[in-house]
Amino acid sequence: MKSFSDEILMAYADGELDEVTRRAVEEAMHKDAALARRVAQHKAMRNDVFAAFAPVAEEAVPPRLAQPLRQATVVSLDSVRARREAEQQAARKASRGRRWSWPEWGALAAMLMVGVMAGHYGVGMLPGDRGETVASRDGVLVAQGRLATALDQQLAGSGGPVRIGTSFLAQDNSYCRSFITAQDMSGLACKQGGAWRVQLAVQSQGKSQQGEYRQAAADMPTQVLDAIDQRIAGQPLDAKAEQEAVQRKWQR
Amino acid sequence: MMDNDSALHEEIATLLPRLRRFARTLAWHREDADDLVQLSVERAILHSSSYQPGTRLDSWLFRIIKNAWIDEVRSRTRRSELFAPEEEGEHVGDDFAEAHQQRMAVQKAVSLLSEEHRLVVGLVLVEGLPYKEAAEVLDIPVGTLTSRLARARTALQEMLSEQARIT
């Protein structure tokens, strides 16, 4: 009689065998009670382990787990950032050479949270801003409405609902501009394919004080400043270069 | 893309009970397991573009949980905290309590397995993934998965019959 390894018997108990082997095992089980017992043991173990953890799936899911899936808001972006910063500090203390690059993660987090927010609030609307600011077009986040107008026309440092921080030419030869909206969302947009593609957006913690003029660039979160550093070719545009770029509609 | 995202989030939400269950096979304490699920859900939201529609969403999420566990949660959980406090043997003879004790004994035995073994047990025996799917989640050949699973079962069997002998 053919003998079967423990792994084959286990696979039989788990329903993983092909037809031919399954039949061979069944035939052998009829003739060999010890073998049948081993199969029964494997089945019992599977049932016991499943039963031991089954009640967990019956428990009410804590709201904190479902919340990020239902309400992707600016607030949760902050909590993600706060958490990341805390972990970043812990990681710095703990070790070098982790598998993950935290700054990249942060930039990605900020970028994608905007995507999530845009999705959550329907047709390209971000919460808080009265006018639409960012929309997803073919999977790319694009500035819209008031933000797009400011990016097109406004000079750096001038006031208004949207403030422009720095304008510069990126290494890929496109123009990029950093911005802060009236709702303290800052980010970086680059003119590509005729649209302002939002490269990154971050919700800042503090609310801006109404009417008080501030140097926009000084308020830029480090994520945005880092994103500028990564892209910039040469120096930021001065006022004259900016004017010219506005006239050329930010096309090279 | 946006509609797909919210549909995906809905699907993930319906899988939360299973994600918690799988996490409990890795981290013993409920709080640790839920932290692991929370972190994994955040990662899943952020990396949702890497999910390929048409593939198993549960497998994709289990892989995220596994990676989150290996990357960070594990390192924050001290080994001694992995183990359950001893259960008191009250109400012996009560059917319900007996079934409860049996479940606790199995949970404890699982928590004493090596990490590799807990992963295969969680994926195959608890979550019911086919060998092939489980092997893909763990990035190992099916043969490796099979032999790990067999060894994990043997180890559980030994621990449980040891426990039965003592009590």
3-class secondary structure per residue, A140-168 = EEEECHHHHHHHHHCCCCCCCCCEEEEEE
User: pTM of the prediction?
Assistant: 0.55
> Quick one: tokens of A224?
């945005």
The answer to whether the beta carbons of residues A106 and A223 sit under 8 Å apart is yes
If residue B57 lies in a helix (H) or strand (E), which one and from where to where? Answer: helix B57-68
Report how far Cα A144 is from the mean position of its chain's Cα atoms: 21
Residue with tokens 């993660």: A105
Q: Smallest CA–CA separation between A103 and chain B, in Å? A: 14
According to DSSP H, which parts of chain A are helical?
A: 6-13, 19-31, 33-58, 63-70, 74-94, 102-120, 145-153, 222-231, 239-247
Chain A hits for B38, Cβ within 8 Å: 64-65, 68
Closest CA to B143 of A247, A16, A30: A16
- Residue A62: predicted pLDDT: 92
What span, in angstroms and rounded, lies between the C-alpha atoms of A4 and A86?
A: 54
What span, in angstroms and rounded, lies between the C-alpha atoms of B137 and B106?
A: 24
Q: Do B16 and A66 touch (CB under 8 A)?
A: yes
Nearest CA in chain B to A51: B103
> Quick one: tokens of A47?
């049932």
How many beta-carbon pairs under 8 angstroms link A with B? 120
Q: Do A80 and B71 touch (CB under 8 A)?
A: no
User: CA of A94: how far to CAs of A47, A83, B96, B165, in Å?
Assistant: 41, 16, 45, 43
Nearest CA in chain A to B18: A57
Chain B hits for A70, Cβ within 8 Å: 9, 13
Nearest CA in chain B to A62: B34
Number of Cα atoms under 13 Å in the Cβ half of residue A175: 21
Q: Smallest CA–CA separation between B34 and chain A, in Å? A: 8
> Running DSSP on this structure, what letter comes out for residue A211?
T
Nearest CA in chain A to B151: A7
Chain A hits for B154, Cβ within 8 Å: 6
Could you say which of B3, B12, B147 has the minimum Cβ distance to residue A69?
B12
Could you say which of A7, A100, A112 has the minimum Cβ distance to residue B146?
A7
**pLDDT band with cut points at 50, 70 and 90 for residue B21:** very high
pLDDT in tens, B77-88: 654 454 444 444
The answer to whether the beta carbons of residues A157 and A164 sit under 8 Å apart is yes
Could you say which of B17, B41, B125 has the minimum Cβ distance to residue A46?
B125
Q: Smallest CA–CA separation between A169 and chain B, in Å? A: 29
Residue-wise pLDDT tens for chain A (252 aa)? 568 999 999 999 999 999 999 999 999 999 999 999 999 999 999 999 999 999 999 999 998 999 888 754 333 445 555 656 676 676 666 654 444 444 444 555 555 555 445 444 433 444 444 455 777 776 678 888 888 889 998 888 777 788 888 899 998 889 999 988 877 778 889 998 889 988 888 776 544 444 344 444 456 777 788 888 888 888 888 888 888 899 889 988
Nearest CA in chain A to B155: A45
- Residue A124: predicted pLDDT: 40
- Residue B73: predicted pLDDT: 64
Q: Compute the Cα dihedral for A186, A191, A196, A198 and give only its sign.
A: negative
Question: Integer distance in angstroms from the first to the last C-alpha of chain A?
Answer: 81
Chain A hits for B1, Cβ within 8 Å: 115, 119, 136, 138-139
Q: Smallest CA–CA separation between B46 and chain A, in Å? A: 6
Note the ipTM here: 0.89
Q: Do A69 and B10 touch (CB under 8 A)?
A: yes
Q: Do A45 and B21 touch (CB under 8 A)?
A: no
Could you say which of A16, A45, A57 has the minimum Cβ distance to residue B157?
A45
Chain A hits for B14, Cβ within 8 Å: none
Q: Smallest CA–CA separation between A212 and chain B, in Å? A: 35
**Range in A112-116, B95-99, B160-164 with the lowest mean pLDDT:** A112-116
Residue with tokens 């606790």: B104
- Residue A200: predicted pLDDT: 81
Q: Averaged over B57-79, what is the pLDDT? A: 83
Strands A195-203 and A185-192: antiparallel
pLDDT in tens, B151-161: 999 999 999 98
Q: Do B17 and A68 touch (CB under 8 A)?
A: no
Which residues are CB-neighbours of A62 under 8 A, at least 6 positions away? B34
Higher pLDDT, A88 or B142: B142
Q: Compute the Cα dihedral for A13, A15, A21, A22 and give only its sign.
A: positive
